[in-house]
Amino acid sequence: MQRPSQSTSPGSRKGKPVSRQVLADHVYEELLESLMDGRLEPGATVSIDGTARDLDVSPTPVREALARLEHTGMVRRVALKGYRVAPVFTREDFAELMEARLAIEPVNARLACARLTPERLAQLEQAVTDLKTAPRGPSFAEFRDYLEADERFHRLIAEQTGNQFMVAAYAALGGQVQRFRLFGGVGITDAENAIAEHQAVLDAMATGDPETAAAAMADHVSKVRGRAIADAPEA
């Protein structure tokens, strides 16, 4: 067994026991990254045994990781048939996703605004800065950082609400957004507009006016929806 067998070195006595991981956690993260990066295309089957061979583990941790992933909507499971990557978004799916974001994200912005600390504000500013400086080339590897910064901005706002349930509700949506941008045919042609809208949200939150922040977020999500529909006229 190639178990890491952590802390066999007798020297580091006070080695941080921070959230020790097990194989299933690594498999989960590996699969999640593959899904986010697009290495696993929509509709592709995710074989338990095959994944286990690829990652050089037994099927048991893979099964556990996939059971968790199923709840995120990234993969779907059919009993006795196996797992497969969730199919591509239709335009209706995208409309539903944006409808849900419109219901949740402005509320997040309002709540986050009320309990904003300088430290958290700095994190948001960093995200917007990363958004501006990230390369936006045509290949995926080139705008990977852009998407990551985008998602981070929204996730930070959700976390800053301090409301665990709003975080959970957003998490049920957040992963889907990035996946859609990979496979929905919508690239980042809207980068300039999106950056300006993110900046507007950030400014409103820095000002400290919750209603303005909520309005800015609603405006952003609404415009993202409009641009995506315009960019991807096909099904």
Q: Examine residue 30 and tell whether it contacts its own copies (CB under 8 A).
A: no
Euclidean distance between the first and final Cα of the chain, in Å? Answer: 49
Q: Examine residue 80 and tell whether it contacts its own copies (CB under 8 A).
A: yes
Give the up-direction half-sphere exposure of residue 92: CA atoms within 13 A in the CB hemisphere: 0
Helix (H) or strand (E) segment spanning residue 77: strand 75-78
From the list DNA, its own copies, none, partner contacted by residue 139 (C-beta under 5 to 8 A by kind)? none
Q: Examine residue 18 and tell whether it contacts its own copies (CB under 8 A).
A: no
Question: CB–CB of 65/31 below 8 Å?
Answer: yes
Beta strand 45-46 pairing with 75-78: unpaired
Q: Examine residue 22 and tell whether it contacts its own copies (CB under 8 A).
A: yes
Question: CB–CB of 15/7 below 8 Å?
Answer: yes
**Joined tokens for residue 132:** 């501006």
Q: Examine residue 64 and tell whether it contacts its own copies (CB under 8 A).
A: yes
Binders of its own copies in range 99-118 (CB under 8 A):
99-100, 103-104, 107, 111
From the list its own copies, DNA, none, partner contacted by residue 230 (C-beta under 5 to 8 A by kind)? none
Site size toward its own copies (CB under 8 A) is 38
Taking CB under 8 A as the binding criterion, the range among 112-120, 164-172, 179-187, 195-203 that sits at the site for its own copies is: 164-172
Residue type, 34: S
Of 44, 114, 122, 168, which one interacts with its own copies (CB under 8 A)? 168
Q: Examine residue 63 and tell whether it contacts its own copies (CB under 8 A).
A: yes
Burial of 154 (0-12, 13-18, 19+ CB in 10 A): buried
Question: CB–CB of 146/201 below 8 Å?
Answer: no
Residue type, 232: A
Q: Which is nearer to its own copies, 128 or 169 (CB)?
A: 169
User: b/e string for 29-67 if b means 16 or more Cβ within 10 A?
Assistant: ebbbeebbeeebebeeebeeeebbeebebeeebbebbbe
Q: Examine residue 215 and tell whether it contacts its own copies (CB under 8 A).
A: no
Taking CB under 8 A as the binding criterion, the range among 32-40, 93-101, 135-143, 223-231 that sits at the site for its own copies is: 93-101
Taking CB under 8 A as the binding criterion, the range among 32-40, 73-81, 118-126, 196-204 that sits at the site for its own copies is: 73-81
Cα separation, 201 vs 39, whole angstroms = 32
CB of 24 to its own copies, least distance (A): 8
Binding site residues, DNA, CB under 7 A: 1-3, 5-6, 8, 20, 22-24, 45-50, 52, 57-61, 63-64, 79-83
* Residues near its own copies (CB under 8 A): 19-22, 24-25, 60, 63-65, 67-68, 70-73, 79-80, 93, 96-97, 99-100, 103-104, 107, 111, 162-166, 168-169, 171-173, 176
